[in-house]
């Protein structure tokens, strides 16, 4: 049984992006102190932390200091080095564990794990060479998506092949890459809808499952999330059961987001699992009794889990790159702050880059259609798709 760390205790946070900042705010609101460790001195969570560390994660002196400063540890990003996690968890409870990260950090291992449990995922293959790429194309057919096995986010490091000629450019890249780089080739799932489900699981195995969310992406980046998802209650129950099943199979302790594809006949596929709060769960800050970040505090500290009740329908819109101007300048600023049910969240990032998540706005309303209409009206102010990331996308 995990001990309870009561308010007044200090929590360590690995990673200081917007998820770490929103976690830190929730922790401080509940009476905890937070030590944020992120090598980037400009990471948003440093601004709200009680204490912050900005040395590299490989710095052994810092890990000694960090562990002395905190009673329990959590993380905001799945790519924290697992050897650091394993060292830390021998000394303090770490939620989620380094073992979970080992499985989820690598898209191939994650998919192998899920398919070994007969959980529904796209057909996939490992690609490290031109020859393996050809085998994958022969076996999986077109369209096909190739993703870097590690370190992708917001659709970066992904290639979509619709026909044989699309493969040629990628073959040239394969010929020049350093040894050891791996890709996963996945069959393209012709989804009618993308969904996600937040699952919270405690050390004693208790679970809480949030309502199903529908997510719409643009160029691989989340554009808008709607809750409750416009699907039947039977489909919603199936999505929730599938998601809980995956987190239980992982023996996960923490907050998890299961991303799903739904196809025309209603069947669901798991796309991926994030072992942390998720962009598609930001609506919980404004529309639920207990937010995903408060749940993360509760799990990390061994407190009872909170209720996941939806208080109103919501539509969350991401502010990408210079779209932030739609809420920070002139008429847009006056309009958004006078819109009933609109909650503005800005992350305090200093540098604006195309497609970078700068903040979000959640529109709550008594009815999903009203929330969506408000979100659509707001998006019409800035609607121009973000430009692609450093690696060509599609």
Residue 140 half-sphere exposure toward CB, CA atoms < 13 A: 28
- Which one, 14 or 258, has the nearer CB to ligand ATP? 258
217 binds, among Mg ion, ligand ATP, none (CB under 5 to 8 A by kind): ligand ATP
Contacts of 374 (CB under 8 A, 6+ apart): 315, 339, 341, 342, 363, 365
CB of 217 to Mg ion, least distance (A): 8
Q: Which does 12 bind (CB under 5 to 8 A by kind): ligand ATP, Mg ion, none?
A: none
Cβ nearer to ligand ATP, comparing 272 with 294: 272
Whichever of 50 and 123 has its CB closer to ligand ATP, that residue is 123
Residue with nearest beta carbon to Mg ion: 259
Instruction: Residue 189: name its binding partner from ligand ATP, Mg ion, none (Cβ under 5 to 8 Å by kind).
Output: ligand ATP
- The smaller minimum CB distance to Mg ion, of residues 259 and 294, is found at 259
We find the least distance from the C-beta atom of residue 270 to Mg ion, in angstroms, to be 11
In angstroms, how far apart are the furthest CA atoms of the chain? Answer: 60
Among positions 234-263, residues that touch Mg ion (CB under 5 A) are 259
Distance CA 303, CA 290 (A): 13
Query: Least distance to ligand ATP from the beta carbon of 262, Å?
Result: 11
Residue 152 contacts which entry, ligand ATP, Mg ion, none (Cβ below 5-8 A, type-dependent): ligand ATP
Min separation Cβ 274 and ligand ATP, Å: 7
Q: Residue 188: name its binding partner from ligand ATP, Mg ion, none (Cβ under 5 to 8 Å by kind).
A: ligand ATP
Angle between helices 164-176 and 130-140 (to 10 degrees): 150
Within 13 Å and on the Cβ side, how many CA atoms surround 316?
Answer: 25
Least distance CB 221 / Mg ion (angstroms): 10
**CA dist., res. 202 & res. 99, Å (int):** 16
Residue 124 beta carbon to ligand ATP: minimum distance, rounded to whole angstroms: 8
DSSP 226-278: EES-SS-HHHHHHHHHHHHHHHHHHT--EEEEEEEEEETTS-EEEEEEESS--
Instruction: State which residue, 2 or 219, has the beta carbon closest to ligand ATP.
Output: 219
Neighbours of 80 (CB within 10 A): 20
Residue 143 Cβ vs Mg ion, minimum distance, rounded to whole Å: 17
Q: In the complex with ligand ATP, which residue's Cβ is closer, 259 or 286?
A: 259
CA 227, CA 211: separation in Å to the nearest integer?
Answer: 7
Q: For binding to ligand ATP (CB under 6 A), which residues are involved?
A: 122, 145, 147, 152-156, 186, 188-189, 194, 217, 220, 222, 259, 271-272
Q: Measured between alpha carbons, how far is 196 from 208 in angstroms, rounded to an integer? A: 14
d(CA 184, CA 136): 9
Q: Which is nearer to Mg ion, 268 or 336 (CB)?
A: 268
- Beta-carbon count within 10 A of 206 CB: 11
- Chain residues binding Mg ion by CB under 5 A are 259
């Amino acid at each position: 049984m995990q001990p309870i760390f009561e308010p007044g205790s200090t929590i360590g946070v690995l990673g200081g992006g917007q998820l770490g900042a929103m976690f830190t705010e929730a922790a401080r609101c509940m009476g905890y102190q937070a030590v944020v460790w992120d090598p980037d001195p400009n990471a948003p969570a440093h601004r709200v932390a009680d204490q912050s560390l900005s040395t590299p994660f490989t710095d052994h002196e810092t890990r000694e200091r960090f562990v002395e400063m905190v009673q329990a540890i959590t993380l905001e990003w799945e790519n924290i080095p697992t050897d650091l996690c394993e060292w830390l968890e021998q000394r303090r409870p770490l939620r989620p564990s380094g073992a979970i990260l080992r499985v989820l950090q690598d898209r191939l291992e994650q998919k192998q794990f899920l398919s070994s449990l007969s959980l529904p995922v796209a057909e996939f293959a490992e690609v490290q060479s031109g020859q393996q790429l050809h085998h994958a194309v022969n076996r999986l057919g077109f369209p096909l998506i190739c993703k870097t096995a590690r370190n992708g986010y917001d659709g970066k490091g992904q290639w979509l092949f619709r026909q044989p000629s699309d493969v040629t450019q990628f073959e040239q890249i394969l010929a020049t890459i350093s040894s050891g780089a791996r890709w996963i080739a996945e069959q393209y799932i012709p989804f009618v809808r993308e969904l996600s489900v937040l699952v919270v699981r405690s050390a004693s195995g208790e679970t809480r499952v949030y309502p199903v969310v529908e997510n719409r992406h643009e160029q691989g980046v989340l554009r808008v999330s709607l809750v409750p998802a416009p699907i039947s209650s039977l489909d919603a129950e199936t999505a929730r059961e599938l998601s809980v099943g995956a987190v239980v199979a992982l023996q996960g302790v923490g907050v998890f987001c299961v991303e799903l594809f739904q196809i025309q006949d209603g069947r669901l596929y798991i796309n991926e699992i994030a072992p942390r709060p998720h962009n598609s769960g930001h609506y919980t800050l404004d529309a639920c009794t207990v937010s995903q970040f408060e749940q993360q505090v509760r799990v990390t500290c061994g407190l009872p889990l909170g209720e996941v009740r939806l208080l109103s329908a919501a539509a969350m819109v991401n502010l990408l790159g210079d779209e932030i101007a739609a809420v920070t300048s002139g008429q847009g600023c006056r309009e958004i702050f006078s819109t009933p049910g609109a909650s503005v969240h800005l992350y305090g990032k200093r540098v604006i880059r195309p497609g970078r998540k700068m903040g979000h706005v959640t529109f709550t309303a008594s009815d999903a259609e009203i929330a969506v209409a408000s979100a659509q009206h707001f998006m019409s102010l800035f609607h121009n798709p973000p430009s692609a990331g450093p690696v060509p996308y599609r």
